[in-house]
């Protein structure tokens, strides 16, 4: 499988990838964010480009340079902006890889001015749920091949397989967070699940793991969209 990687396994295909966190503003100086460096998603984008794909990268707030070979990068901040950018670009995409750590909630009211603290009183933020990008795509009649990620602290396999099913995904890449893997770390380890199979990608540097992920995505894509 990996031997064929260099030979343009994704040539002629449009691959859309979201990466990084989203920031949900509370006021002009504060936000709620997710822990994500964007490195796994950027590595997947680089690997997809190296495999011959035309790659569009939708990036949340990250401090990463655009990998070479990426055709288009769209920078966004909030989950709502990422949702809009991904849905717009998905119309042309053959494959969508949702590597972003999308904020599940946003403050219901964003203060136009900096909130001030008040003598030890507690502060309650009221939050609204953000739209689910993968679920929105999956609900469309014609949609790209959908790959999700699931970063879990516990019961990784059952949560990941549950998300594969209820979000209507073609594949999900699951990882255990903690123990020097995952967030902000150089290495990661993934287990890929699809409807009738699974494969473990053992601990490796994110660029190497991304190449393996892309090789499996290409293989599953070909198997389902013949």
Q: Which one of the listed residues 34, 130, 175, 188 is annotated catalytic? A: 34
Residues of this chain, 116-135, that bind ligand CTP according to CB under 6 A: 130, 132-134
The least distance separating Ca ion from the CB of residue 132, rounded to whole angstroms, comes to: 8
Binding positions for ligand CTP, 90-109, rule CB under 6 A: 98, 100, 102, 104
Any catalytic annotation for residue 7?
A: no
Question: Are 19 and 42 spatial neighbours (Cβ–Cβ below 8 Å)?
Answer: yes
Q: Which of 94, 104, 208, 219 binds Ca ion (CB under 5 A)?
A: 104
Selected range binding ligand CTP among 88-96, 109-117, 148-156, 194-202, rule: CB under 6 A: 148-156
Query: Does 206 show up as a binding residue in the annotation?
Result: no
> Do 63 and 109 touch, CB atoms closer than 8 A?
no
Q: Is-contact 38 21, C-beta < 8 A?
A: yes
Kindly state the number of chain residues that form the binding site for ligand CTP, as judged by CB under 6 A. Answer: 14
Q: Does 163 bind ligand CTP (CB under 6 A)?
A: yes
Residues 6+ apart with CB under 8 A from 154: none
74 is in an annotated binding site: no
Residue 88, both tokens: 């717009």
Query: 25: annotated binding-site residue?
Result: no
Helix 206-224 × helix 39-50 angle, to 10°: 60
Instruction: Tell me: is residue 104 an annotated ligand-binding position.
Output: yes
Residues 174-213 that bind ligand CTP (CB under 6 A): none
User: Residue 113 class from Cβ within 10 Å (0-12 exposed, 13-18 middle, 19+ buried)?
Assistant: exposed
Contact present, 132 and 157 (Cβ < 8 Å):
no
Distances (CA, A) of 193 to 105, 117, 181, 182: 27, 47, 19, 18
The two three-digit tokens of residue 89, written as one number = 């670009």
Q: Which CB sits closer to ligand CTP, 39 or 163?
A: 163
Shortest approach of ligand CTP to residue 95 CB, angstroms? 13
The least distance separating ligand CTP from the CB of residue 118, rounded to whole angstroms, comes to 32
Asked if residue 86 lies in contact with residue 16, where contact means CB atoms within 8 angstroms, the answer is: yes
**Biggest alpha carbon distance in the chain?**
65
* Residue numbers 3-62 binding ligand CTP by CB under 6 A: none
Q: Annotated binding residue at 149?
A: yes
Active site residues: 34
Q: Which residues in this chain contact ligand CTP in the complex, by CB under 6 A?
A: 79, 98, 100, 102, 104, 130, 132-134, 148-151, 163
């Amino acid at each position: 499988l990996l031997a064929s990687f260099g030979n343009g396994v994704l040539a002629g295909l449009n691959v859309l990838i979201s990466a990084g966190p989203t920031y949900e503003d509370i006021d002009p100086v504060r936000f709620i964010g997710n822990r994500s460096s964007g490195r796994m998603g950027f590595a997947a984008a680089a690997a997809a480009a190296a495999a011959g794909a035309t790659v569009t990268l939708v990036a949340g707030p990250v401090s990463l340079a655009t990998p070479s070979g990426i055709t288009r990068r769209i920078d966004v901040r909030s989950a709502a902006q990422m949702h809009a950018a991904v849905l717009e670009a998905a119309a042309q995409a053959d494959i969508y890889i949702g590597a972003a750590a999308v904020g599940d909630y946003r403050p219901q009211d964003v203060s136009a001015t900096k909130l001030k603290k008040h003598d030890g009183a507690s502060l309650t933020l009221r939050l609204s749920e953000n739209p689910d990008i993968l679920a929105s795509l999956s609900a469309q009649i014609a949609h790209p091949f959908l790959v999700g990620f699931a970063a879990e602290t516990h019961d990784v396999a059952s949560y990941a397989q549950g998300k594969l099913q209820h979000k209507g995904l073609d594949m999900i890449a699951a990882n255990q967070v903690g123990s020097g893997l995952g967030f902000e770390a150089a290495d990661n380890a993934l287990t890929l699940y699809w409807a009738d199979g699974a494969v473990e990608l053992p601990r490796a540097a994110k660029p190497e793991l991304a190449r393996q992920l892309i090789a499996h995505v290409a293989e599953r894509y070909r198997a389902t969209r013949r």
